[in-house]
Amino acid sequence: MKKIFEILLSFLQTSQSETLQKHIFSIWRSFIRKFQAVLFRGNAKLCGDLCYEILRCCNSRLSSTRKEACALLYLLMRSNFEYSRKTSFTRVHLQVIISVSQLIGDVVGISNSYFQESLVMVNNYAKSDKAMQKTNFPLEVKDLTKRIRTVLMATAQLKEHEKNPEMLVDLQYCLAKSYASTPELRKTWLESMAKAHLRTKDYSEAAHCYLHISALVSEYLRRRGKMKPRTYPQGCAAFHMISPNIQTEESSIKDDSGMQDVHYTDSTLIENLEQAARIIEQAERYEVLGDIYKLIIPMYEVARDFERLSESYRKLFEAYNKIVEVMHSGKRLLGKYYRVAFYGQAHFDEENGKEYIYKEPKVTNLSEICDRLFNLYTYRYGKENVKLIMDSKKVNVDELDPKYAFIQVTYVTPYFTKEESKERLTEFERNNNIQRFMFETPFTKNGPAHGSITEQYKLRTILTTSHTFPYVKKRIEIIEHTEQELSPIEVAIDELHNKVIDLQEVVRAVTPDVKKLHLNLQGCVSTQVHAGPLAYAEAFLSKDKVNKYPVGKVAALKDVFK
């Protein structure tokens, strides 16, 4: 059977006349119908070889060849779906994704227009196949073709954005996401992202790439039944305490028992977890090491590897000592966050109107990130075509000159509800697994941004990102906005409440920082310069003014003073 398969495949690999080619495709249709077990049971290599050649024909210059190839590919998907009792076509799905990756790497490459046309044709076959309409088959075909389109788009843009670290990682992320069902290909792109982050010294993001790889390997081993000891991390769900992003993204792999090219073992898992631990230490996120070693240590215990157990506990001992040290010194800096919005259809295309939260290293100030982004985009669009918007007001797109590329940058801070603030007590907890951010815009009803204490309002904008920080990339898209308008008395309550939290943090420190305490006591505590607690008390709590404000707000302000 293997010899017959190779002979038939050779006809697809070599140029034929259109007449003969029609007969070749007809023979292949008969083969797929009669010998489904050969393609869909056991080793996946034969199915993979056939998928590669069919896809190569889908990229042909001849429309007749493309049409025949699309029909054959559709039949292969449908036959696999029926062979699996109408549950899925996992084998063909995986082999098509792998074949696309191989075609992209080949010298011949892929013609975007021809291949896109073929994808549309396959999709149309699925939509018009009445026998399949009551199954999930058309949706699975649509999902597969969408993944292929993403791969083609991202691959084409990689070279174009090689000077832009955020865009480069975003494109690598798109490729990794498109290969989510194919463990080895996803792992390859996650490793590429980790290397890119290490080059720019974004250690938190690099470490999370390796944590995602570890979860991917663990999920693969679980599905193959190779994580037998209960103490072993059972799939990607075991990583939920490290980051909620991990389980969401690494649970969508597809497993084909006939695939022989994936050779993951518990050693692969340990190797990636150890790598993540080394990099997370460089990121100074020592608290995460405890959770990582909770996954590693049980495997060393089962293996009776006492030397590595000793080394693991030594590293944990050092990590907890460093936590104590940085909490005493207050010198650990886990990053700053900025909202970055892009406007200008002519320049940004798909990025136009999108907003992101950028995580910047250490104490990156506003001017530094503005300079970096300005230089980055002037390199691409020209200095005369890029303009920065420095205020945090809402942008009216209709008022912007369409010939320019506009970038708005706003400093933001992590946002927590009162309940969350009570749980997130340390600096690390306030900078780990965070998804909501805020910035405030002062205004008065009269027009000017700033006014007297009793006239001062604030608009608080709360932003929610699609994933939590830290993540496998250092910018995450904003998916939700909410706004809160704070009245003058609410501004006073908010400002004093924040000041109390700052003072408590200094006073409760194991080693109080006298200078920091002095700065906090001397610092400005309201949006109006030189206004302090006494000014707030006189404005809102004096006998002649207290009745002007809601009883609940007055009580809340008094509570802050207590």
**Cα-based distances in Å from 456 to 308, 410, 451, 453, 499:** 61, 21, 5, 5, 18
- Where is pLDDT greater, at 525 or 519? 519
Q: How far apart are CA 130 and CA 487, in angstroms?
A: 60
Question: Hey, which residues does 434 pair with through a beta bridge?
Answer: 469
Task: Give me 40's structure tokens.
Answer: 């869909």
Average pLDDT over residues 229-251: 89
Question: Hey, which residues does 443 pair with through a beta bridge?
Answer: 457
- Where is pLDDT greater, at 235 or 108? 235
**Cα-based distances in Å from 15 to 5, 11, 63:** 18, 8, 14
Residue 530: its pLDDT value, please?
45
Residue 107: its pLDDT value, please?
43
Based on DSSP, count helices (H) and strands (E) in the chain, helices before strands.
22, 7
Residue 340: its pLDDT value, please?
97
Question: Hey, which residues does 441 pair with through a beta bridge?
Answer: 459
Helix, strand, or coil here: 407?
A: strand
Cβ atoms 229, 302 nearer than 8 A:
yes
Q: Which of 201, 228, 231, 203 is nearest to 297 (CA)?
A: 231
Tens-place pLDDT, residues 548-557: 888 898 888 8
Q: Could you tell me what percent of the chain has a pLDDT over 70?
A: 93
List, as one string, the DSSP characters of 261-293: S----HHHHHHHHHHHHHHHHHTT-THHHHHHH
Cβ atoms 433, 447 nearer than 8 A:
no
**Where does 381-433 show beta strands of DSSP type E?**
386-389, 405-414
Q: How far apart are CA 297 and CA 57, in angstroms?
A: 50
Average pLDDT over residues 463-476: 97
In what helix (H) or strand (E) does residue 355 lie, and over which residues does it extend?
strand 355-360
Handedness of CA 274, 285, 167, 173 (dihedral sign): positive
Tens-place pLDDT, residues 8-51: 999 998 888 888 999 999 999 999 999 999 999 888 889 999 99
Residue 511: its pLDDT value, please?
66
Average pLDDT over residues 311-337: 93
In what helix (H) or strand (E) does residue 247 lie, and over which residues does it extend?
helix 244-250
Q: How far apart are CA 161 and CA 155, in angstroms?
A: 11
**Among the ranges given (67-71, 362-366, 467-471, 526-530), the one the predictor scored with the smallest mean pLDDT:** 526-530
List, as one string, the DSSP characters of 454-497: TT-EEEEEEEEEEEEES-SSSEEEEEEEEEEEEPHHHHHHHHHH
Same CATH topology for 196-332 and 487-561? no
Please give the CATH superfamily to which domain 487-561 belongs.
DOCK DHR2 domain, lobe C (1.20.58.740)
Cβ atoms 469, 497 nearer than 8 A:
no
Cβ atoms 406, 353 nearer than 8 A:
no
In what helix (H) or strand (E) does residue 357 lie, and over which residues does it extend?
strand 355-360
Q: How far apart are CA 387 and CA 408, in angstroms?
A: 9
pLDDT band with cut points at 50, 70 and 90 for residue 56: very high
Average pLDDT over residues 53-65: 92
Residue 521: its pLDDT value, please?
64
**Cα-based distances in Å from 235 to 180, 303, 425, 471:** 15, 19, 30, 19
For the chain, which residues make up each domain, given as ranges? Answer: 1-161, 196-332, 333-486, 487-561
Q: How far apart are CA 469 and CA 12, in angstroms?
A: 48
Q: Which of 179, 161, 180, 197 is nearest to 472 (CA)?
A: 197
Q: How far apart are CA 399 and CA 393, in angstroms?
A: 13
Q: How far apart are CA 562 and CA 557, in angstroms?
A: 9
Average pLDDT, the chain: 89
Cβ atoms 314, 348 nearer than 8 A:
no
Cβ atoms 319, 293 nearer than 8 A:
no
The C-alpha angle 421, 422, 428, rounded to 5 degrees, equals 65
What b/e readout covers 190-212, taking b as 16+ CB neighbours within 10 angstroms? Answer: bbbbbebbbeeebbbbbbbbbbb
Residue 526: its pLDDT value, please?
43
Cβ atoms 196, 169 nearer than 8 A:
yes
Tens-place pLDDT, residues 433-462: 999 999 999 989 888 888 888 889 999 999
Q: Could you tell me what percent of the chain has a pLDDT over 90?
A: 57
Average pLDDT over residues 309-316: 97
- Where is pLDDT greater, at 132 or 519? 132
In the predicted model, is pLDDT for residue 260 greater than 70? Answer: no
In the predicted model, is pLDDT for residue 261 greater than 70? Answer: no
Q: How far apart are CA 323 and CA 428, in angstroms?
A: 10
At a CB cut-off of 8 Å and minimum separation 6, what does 294 contact?
none
In the predicted model, is pLDDT for residue 524 greater than 50? Answer: no
In the predicted model, is pLDDT for residue 252 greater than 60? Answer: yes
Handedness of CA 269, 270, 274, 280 (dihedral sign): positive
Task: Please give the CATH architecture assigned to the domain spanning 196-332.
Answer: Alpha Horseshoe (1.25)
Tens-place pLDDT, residues 353-403: 999 999 999 889 999 999 999 999 998 899 999 999 988 888 999 899 999
pLDDT band with cut points at 50, 70 and 90 for residue 110: low
Residue 391: its pLDDT value, please?
86
In the predicted model, is pLDDT for residue 332 greater than 60? Answer: yes
